[in-house]
């Protein structure tokens, strides 16, 4: 009985090794046409990019008509987002006077999240103005410059944009 279990375990282990070894060569695929569109969802996804002929990839998952892939490619370093994303709170109002009033409250120790919930005209006001995590290139350069120049927990000045007067607090 014990020998039989050991034999079965050895066969399973050997089979697993063979499958893994076979997959390393068989899993590599290449784009065969001049280009292939990349979609962000398997069914009716938005086109988000193009792969050129010969691009190396590995098929991770398949449906009858699509394949989820991992791409091996070279890109310019300047095209890659930073490894550490930014995170900030954002509050926007329509008038400079209102922004000045809010800034005075914040500098006196007011709670940014509560003020954003009560005063901000943005959709993220309900979340206390939290922008979530983002990388350079995700927002208007004027806004990104203001946020990235801040230290953690530091407030920006009042920044005028086409949609109002903005105040940011960097939280990461």
The per-residue DSSP string of 88-127 comes to: EEEEEES-HHHHHHHHHHHHTT--HHHHHHHH--SGGGGG
**CATH label of the domain that carries residue 91:** 3.10.50.40
Helix and strand tally (H, E) in the chain? 4, 9
pLDDT value for 160: 94
36 within domain boundaries: yes
6-20 pLDDT per residue, tens: 434 444 444 444 444
Pick 45 or 57 by higher pLDDT.
57
pLDDT per residue as tens digits for the range 24-55: 445 788 888 888 877 777 777 777 778 788 88
Structural domain includes residue 22? no
φ, ψ (nearest 5 deg) of residue 7: -65, -45
By residue count, the chain amounts to 172
Full domain range(s) for residue 90: 86-170
Number of domains composing the chain: 2
Task: Flag whether the pTM goes above 0.75.
Answer: no
* 8 falls within a domain: no
């Amino acid at each position: 009985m014990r020998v039989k279990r050991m034999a079965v375990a050895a066969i399973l282990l050997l089979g697993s090794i063979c499958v893994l070894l076979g997959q390393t060569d068989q899993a590599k695929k290449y784009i065969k046409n001049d280009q292939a569109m990349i979609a962000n969802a398997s069914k009716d996804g938005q086109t988000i990019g193009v792969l050129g002929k010969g691009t190396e990839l590995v098929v991770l998952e398949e449906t009858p008509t699509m394949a989820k892939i991992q791409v091996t490619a070279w890109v310019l370093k300047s095209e890659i987002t930073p490894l550490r994303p930014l995170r900030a709170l954002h509050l926007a109002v329509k008038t400079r006077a209102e922004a000045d009033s809010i800034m005075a409250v914040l500098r006196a120790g007011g709670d940014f999240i509560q003020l954003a919930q009560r005063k901000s005209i943005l959709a993220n006001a309900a979340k206390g103005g939290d922008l979530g995590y983002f990388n350079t290139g995700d927002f208007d350069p004027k806004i990104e410059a203001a946020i990235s120049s801040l230290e953690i927990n530091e407030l920006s000045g009042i920044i005028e944009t086409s949609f109002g007067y903005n105040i940011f607090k960097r939280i990461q």
